[in-house]
Amino acid sequence: MKFIIETYGCQMNVADSELVSSILISAGHTPVTDIDEAQAIIFNTCSVRDHAEQRVLGRIANEKHRKNTDPELKIGVIGCMAQRVGKRLMEIEPGIDFVVGVDQYQHLPSILDDSLSSEEDTLYMDPSQIYPGIMPYRQDKNCGFVTVMRGCNNFCSYCIVPYVRGRERSRPVDDIYTEVRRATEVGLRDITLLGQNVNSYQHDGYRFPDLLKKLNDIESLWRLRFVTSHPKDLSDELISAMASCTKVCEHIHLPLQAGDDQMLKKMNRSYDIDHYLGLIDKLRTAIPDIAITTDLMVGFPSETQSQFENTLRVMERIRFDYAFCFKYSEREGTVAATYKDQVPENERLRRLQTMIDLQRQITFEKFQEQIGKNVEVYVEDFSRKSQDMVSGKTRDFKIAVLSGSSDKIGGLSMAKVIDATAGTLICE
């Protein structure tokens, strides 16, 4: 069958879609890029906020009309929302033909060819599932994701992930090494290691800093990144591995969530602001010019105006290069959803806008500070605005554009930053 996967949510889902594509291709199915050609449409979904779930349901409602003219069309839901809601999804949206949970993707080929035994539980959460021996089907020609661990044990009180993705489990070092090496050999020189909580990676005595050191030796690899790190697992050893491994890029994504100790406690984040600020100091001392990005949340239950303002003050103090700002969304089944003192929706929105405005200003200033510097750009494509310009990323994960033609694409260019907007470095 011709299939297409529409992916929502985080990079873990992007990587899982590549894994699912690989499973389906091995079984003889064909990926297509035009949804109108597809005989199977698979939605890889996210449950982290209600908004993400509603968007997918809207998309499915749109696509199911095609069944009137093409009754053979199959629509499936996989990923976190499939796991969270289960087969009930097929009642909520009768256009859906199948629902498969995050640990059962090996069944997708037999679902597409209608040979799946009715005995199979396609929602079973398998605590040992790591999808061994599957090389993801990658469409990006320059950058690749490699999953190193799955699941999360942290149970932050707002978060649905531990319930839908299960407990942490790590892949063997040798499998990761082989996958990274093979990816770089086909031209993917910028690799991002993925995990819900990547720095708690451990397998057979190997911990995350050991993994970085081992991968750093791969000659064909140019750049190594990782997401997402938890502040409680960012050890001194990891910071020194980041500093000493030449391939590891000068960037860390370190979700703060809130800049108020009481909020952090209620969120079950297991660190306080002092600890977080200490980490930032250590990172900036060990790796000067490191870019630091974060996730922040407003309107967590009982958050007062002054607690919200504490977060703004911490943002001003740290000056993140970029922050993903979210408005708290109740997730049924999590501890925080049982809290009585929910912040009204309009107040959440107001705080979110204030936070976004502040971060936009800081990001703009951070980009302006780059003017005059020399940066290494891994050129990935033509610039969207002009065929005489190419674009790529700096080691610290900023988008950069520079003059050049197709021969630059896929290579590293040294460039000087001559101007900047709040999202792009303009270089020559």
Return residues touching ligand 5AD (CB under 6 A): 48-49, 158-159, 255, 257, 295, 297, 326, 328-329, 331
Find the binder of ligand SF4 among 150, 230, 247, 393 (CB under 6 A). Answer: 230
**Distances from the Cα of 44 to the Cα of 19, 114, 118, 231, 263, angstroms:** 12, 20, 23, 28, 32
229 or 370: CB nearest ligand 5AD: 229
The least CB distance from residue 241 to ligand SF4, in Å, is 21
**Distances from the Cα of 64 to the Cα of 34, 57, 75, 210, 228, angstroms:** 16, 11, 8, 48, 35
The secondary structure of 398-419 as a DSSP string is -EEEEE--GGGTTSEEEEEEEE
Q: Is the CB of residue 263 less than 8 Å from the CB of residue 307?
A: yes
CA separation for the pair 110, 107 (Å, rounded) = 6
| Among ligand 5AD, ligand SF4, none, partner that 188 touches (CB below 5 to 8 angstroms by kind) | none
154 belongs to the binding site for ligand SF4 (CB under 6 A): yes
CA separation for the pair 273, 260 (Å, rounded) = 7
Residue 153, helix vs strand vs coil: coil
Element containing residue 118 per DSSP (H, E)? none
The least CB distance from residue 163 to ligand SF4, in Å, is 9
| Among ligand SF4, ligand 5AD, none, partner that 352 touches (CB below 5 to 8 angstroms by kind) | none
| Among ligand SF4, ligand 5AD, none, partner that 197 touches (CB below 5 to 8 angstroms by kind) | ligand SF4
The radius of gyration of the chain from alpha carbons, rounded to an integer in Å, stands at: 22
| Among ligand 5AD, ligand SF4, none, partner that 157 touches (CB below 5 to 8 angstroms by kind) | none
Would you state the torsion angle of the CA atoms of residues 276, 277, 282, 287, taken in this order, to the nearest 10 degrees?
100
152 belongs to the binding site for ligand SF4 (CB under 6 A): yes
Q: Is the CB of residue 151 less than 8 Å from the CB of residue 162?
A: yes
159 or 239: CB nearest ligand SF4: 159
Binding mask 197-226 for ligand SF4 (x = CB under 6 A): x-----------------------------
| Among ligand 5AD, ligand SF4, none, partner that 329 touches (CB below 5 to 8 angstroms by kind) | ligand 5AD
168 or 321: CB nearest ligand SF4: 168
Rounded to 10°, the helix 173-185/208-216 angle is 30
Find the binder of ligand SF4 among 20, 42, 78, 156 (CB under 6 A). Answer: 156
21 or 129: CB nearest ligand SF4: 129
The least CB distance from residue 388 to ligand 5AD, in Å, is 37
Per-residue exposure over 37-53, b if at least 16 CB sit within 10 Å of its own CB, e if not: ebbbbbbbbbbbbeebb
194 belongs to the binding site for ligand SF4 (CB under 6 A): no
Q: Can you read off the two tokens belonging to residue 185?
A: 């050999």
- From 121-129, 152-160, 234-242, 324-332, span contacting ligand SF4 (CB under 6 A): 152-160
Q: Is the CB of residue 45 less than 8 Å from the CB of residue 23?
A: no
* Site residues, ligand SF4 (CB under 6 A): 152, 154-156, 159, 161-162, 196-197, 230
